[in-house]
Structure formats: structure tokens, C-alpha cells
Amino acid sequence: MQDHEKIKGIYYALLAFVIWGLVPVYFKALEHVQPLEVVAHRIIWSAMFLALILLVSKRLVDVISLLRRTPALLIGLFFSALVISVNWLVFIWAVGQDRIVETTLGYFINPLINIVFGFFVFSERLRPLQWLAVALAAVGVIYQLVLFGQLPWVALVLAVSFASYGVLRKKIQIDAVGGLFIETLWLAPIALFYLFYLAQSEGLQFLTEGVATSWLLVAAGVVTSVPLLAFAAGASRISLSLIGIIQYLGPSIAFLIAVFYYGEPMDLQRLVTFLCIWAGLLIFTVEGLLFQKKKNSEYKKNN
């Protein structure tokens, strides 16, 4: 039974990261819509879809009562909502600007940024090879800075905002679905106000750009929520180290789509940066697996 649950967990995790890898294609189809309007729809329809999920699973009342008991939870989710909205906006903008490759760089860097945050925020001790992995990522970023005279800001904003979101959510005791539901509720009034403003100024593209566009905007809530539900189901069944390996599937799929389908440039200079990041990730992954194996063997020996 345990092996069966582990296999299910792997399938759930694979589903989540495959969807996240294909998400740029979805939002590429909405590149003719203003990024802020896309984000607004993503917030509103996510809130409605998650409310339906919580209602069907009979958990909506529990989530609301939890917030009444712990007001600090509501404040924490307000800040995490702001951070994830920045991540969504930059990602959607970058996809529309043919910068999918740079978004993938951000999500490849993300695990290494998590290490740094763990060190500074949670006082976690870093092992020597973890420092080497972070150093290689830093070399890749510095290389771009020296070569092009500018930071890969899209990648850095996505990596830092997602890592910051992870830190905030780690401190907030609520499940992924309930947490995202409250976050979208916080952002919903702002999103509705913005859509109302667009409608008043005749800039609203929802219901004016054709049926296909309108349905794509509505379905953005499902595209946002489904991989999160799959990820939560997978993470509860398999180890974090296995999740850590599978997570590279998402940006890898997006990277291949960007280069070979959309024809985004991948010259030698850019490739050097990616090679530094990939080398860091390889060291980070292998070191993590070996450390976990050693830890497990010591546990079995002592028990």
C-alpha cells in the first residue's frame, strides 16, 4: 500500500510540473491581452475555483473559522499574496515579451536562492558543496552582468519572489489550497477594481476580444489551481528530495519550448550562464541525495 501511494505521489508531482512547464504556451496565447488584466482574471477565477473545491470537499467553513481564530494568519497571507502577485505579473509580462528563456533561468535559480534564504532566515547551516552550488549560480549571474552590462532581472525577480513566497508560506500554518484561496481573496477587490476601471475606460479586453480569449482568461484560474492541487497531493506522498529532482522538469520543458518552438535566442553567452546554473543544480541535487542516503543509513544503524 505504501509503494502504491508513493507511485501515486510521483504521478501527481509529474502532473504538476508538466503543467507548469507548459504554462508559458497558455499565457503566450494571451499575449495580446494586457498583463495586468490577465493577472486580474487569474486572481478572480482562481478564487472562485478554489472556493468551489473547498465547498465540495466541505472545508470552506473550516478555512474561514481558522482565520477567525488566528488573525495573524490573515496578515501573513496578505504579504504572501502581494509577493506571489508580483511573480505572476512579471512571468506573464515576460512570456508576452518573448523572454520565456529568462523565466526558466529564474526557476532554475530558485532552489539555490532557497538555500541562501534558509541560511539567512532560518539559520540553516550550509554544507560545503551547497556553498559551491550557490557560488556557481552567482558566477552565471555575474557573467551576464559583465557581458551585457545588466542583470537578468526577470530571472532574479521570479526566483527571489518565489523563494520569498516559500519563506512566508513556511511560517504560515495553513494548507496550500486554503492558503491560496485566502491570498486570492485578499487580491480580488484590487483585481475587480482594476477590471472595472478598464471597462469604464473602454480598455477591457474580456468579452471584447472574442470567445476564445474570454474562455482562456476564465480558465486561468483552473490553470493556476490544478497544478497546485497536484503538487500538494504529490508532496504529501513522496520525499522532499524526490520532489526536488522532479521540480526541474517544469523549467526544462519551458526552456525546450522557448528555444525550439518559439525560436527564442540561445547564443554562447546565454548558454554559459545556463551551464553555470545547471552545474550548480547538479551538484546541489547529487549532494542532497548522497546526504539523505547517509542520513537514512545512520538512522537504520541506530535503530
**Mean pLDDT along residues 290-299:** 78
pLDDT for residue 241: 63
Of 22-26, 39-43, 243-247, 272-276, which gets the smallest average pLDDT?
243-247
pLDDT for residue 113: 86
4 or 132, greater pLDDT? 132
pLDDT for residue 262: 94
pLDDT confidence of 111, banded at 50, 70, 90? confident
CA R_g for the chain: 20
169 or 191, greater pLDDT? 191
**Mean pLDDT along residues 38-56:** 94
pTM here is: 0.87
pLDDT tens, position by position, 165-183: 888 888 888 888 888 899 9
pLDDT for residue 104: 92
